[in-house]
Copies of this chain bind each other. A is one copy, B any other.
Amino acid sequence: MANQQFEECIDACAACAVACSYCATECLKESNPENLVKCIQLDLECAAICRSAAEVMSLGSRFSAHFCRICADACHACAQECERHAEMGMEHCRLCAEACRQCARVCEQMATSV
């Protein structure tokens, strides 16, 4: 529907932003939020960065590749942290890590192709 070359990447960024915001609010409901502080912080940063990448690509901006480059880095950082908690059984972290890795993959392709 959107700027065609960006379509898959916009979708991945939008989905990742939602997964990150959801993970942050679910972390706050856990019984041990003090162990999830780094996760929440990375969730918030990654959500903000994914949302901005999606918006900039929606506008067909010449700056899209730059955003995708940063977005991939933010996604990997967030995924790495979430994967630690996913191993301990946190489902919201598992879903978030999955969305982050997928988003990073698509953003990396975009960053090198435009």
Contact = CB atoms under 8 A, between A and B. Distances in A.
Interface of A: 1-3, 10, 14-15, 17-19, 21-22, 24-25, 28-29, 32-34, 37, 40-41, 44-45, 47-49, 51-52, 54-56, 58-63, 66-67, 70, 73-74, 95, 99
Nearest to A3: B22
A21 B95 CA distance: 24
A45 B56 contact: yes
A44 B41 CA distance: 11
Contacts of A40: 28, 40
Q: How many of these chains are in the complex?
A: 4
Contacts of A28: 37, 40-41
Contact of A63 (B10, B74, B95): B74
A44 B60 CA distance: 10
A10 B60 CA distance: 22
Looking at A10, A22, A56, A58, which has the most chain B CB atoms within 10 Å of its CB?
A58
